[in-house]
Structure 1
Amino acid sequence: MFLYTHPKTASAFLSLSGFLGLLVNLFILHRIIYGKIFGKSFGRIWISRAIAYVGASALFAFFLPAVAFYDAHLLKTGWIRAAIQFINFFVITLICSNFLIAWNRCVLVICPIHYKYVFCDLKTKVLIASTWIVSLMLMIPNVIDNLTQSHIKHCHKTPLDSDTSPYMQPDECRTWLEFINIVLPSIVIGLTIVVDTYSMWRLGHFVKIMVQAIVAIFIYISMCFSAFIKNEFIQFLASSFLWGMMQAIDGVVVIFFNTEMHAGLRRRFSTDDKNIVNSTGSSPGEQKNQFFSFAQKCVH
């Protein structure tokens, strides 16, 4: 694998992906906290999501490059593989947070009357805490298994193992834990795409539907099946490097499609927002306009 044959170059690429992810998501976190662009309850979900992205990006920016630069073969040891599970911890958290954001938006679009009941302040805090608790519950058994099992070099594959697909596990690795590690995130990602697509379709964001769906599907397929690529460097870029870049790519999509993130474009997009409201055929009353204005802010 390129990570082991060219560890210094690989560490530079991993560090680059991590720093880009940090830069993009710290900017998003700053706009949410100080710009207050998403309100109170909805903003809390976004803050939780951004923290997960920052945590994953920090590990790619500092931890993984340092280990790879010193001795890439340490990445095969139990302790380091256990530490890598913290990346999965943050990734599962942000996957669950993305679903929570999609569900929030869907409730707002389908039944706005019940929105404040479903996503009241207390329930929102409980849902956010649940995403972190679920991720922690998935991480702990993986950490224990990495530290205690003798077959760790063959199991618990991550995109850092660019020459092996997570769907190509040896027989001794086909346990309930490995099944959950693969199936649960895949189900949540699929549900998020479906719910998000429906919400954005109702709001008229057809371009955003295509871009988000294509990006999400491309990243998922690339990281899962990059093992079939023969060239080691391209294989590394399509798996390990893309795993790190995922944080930055998703953040760029958020910034591009959320006009509140870049104040300079607000005026240009304000006309588009009004056109979307008028195209729904709803009455031009103040209450309806306020609802659709908030709905537009909920689109990331």
Structure 2
Amino acid sequence: MPAEATKKDLRDILELVGVLHADTVGGEMPTPVLARLAAMVGCDSASYCRVDHASRRLLATVVEPASTDLSESAAFAAVLGQHPAFVAHRERRLPTGSSVALTDLVDLRTLRSLPIYADFYRPRQTHDQLLNIVTVGRHQGTLLVFNRSRRGFSGRARELLDLVSPLVCQAIVHRERLTRLTCALRDAQRHASASERAAGRLSGLTPREREVVARLVDGIGDREIARALGISPRTVNKHLEQIYRKLGLQSRAAVVAMMRGAQPVPESAAEHHAPATAGVTRIAAQRRS
């Protein structure tokens, strides 16, 4: 156990990590977690920041309290690149997972001369910051930043943040993965609904359009469809435009997915072509009944 962190500190950290994994609604960093971290570290305000360290831009922020958020200020964005952390990162003086104070990175005289401090931090009584890089990639990174109205941070504050950092990193990866899976599920549900609606509109296709659909399911291209039906590729394209419009679908792949979900796969190659056309008619008849 770290020298200054207590058992209660460790229990609080584990509880916060549990909230991070359980809360899937609050974006990358839930505000209540950030507020509790600020209280543990002993700071006035806290930020979770995703930055492009190549262009020195803020990409996303969560700030607690929200009244201290500067991310929407164009003037602040213009001077953000002056922050000593960007210089320290380029010079490899800002390792991942290790806490560092703003006053560790630059001497007081230099800090006071920086517009970002004189115009933004000092008027808001931010005289020091404790920073920790949670994740870092080639162009982007995420940081936890804690603002304080007095200079200096205790060993306990630094130790707590160093303990939290890798756990927050794991939680962020978990939340990002869950977000991707949720989006994929929503997309699948949306496509399934579109396919179901399209299957109900099959009866609106002309006999020739049904023949084109049947060949689409066979997986052949426009020229092959044209040769099979004795029409020109241009006519095939016109039929496809009408099919997409009538079924409310956007692509050949969507029509094929709808048909394969709506009818059984033929059991033999000999049955492959004729039943495909018949299948369109059969499904349309079933929808009418």
- TM-score of the aligned structures, taking structure 1 as reference length: 0.23
Higher RCO structure (Cα 8 Å, ≥6 apart):
1
Between structure 1 and structure 2, the one with the greater Rg is 2
Task: Please state which structure has a larger fraction of its residues in strand.
Answer: 2
- TM-score of the aligned structures, taking structure 2 as reference length: 0.23
Task: Please state which structure has a larger fraction of its residues in helix.
Answer: 1
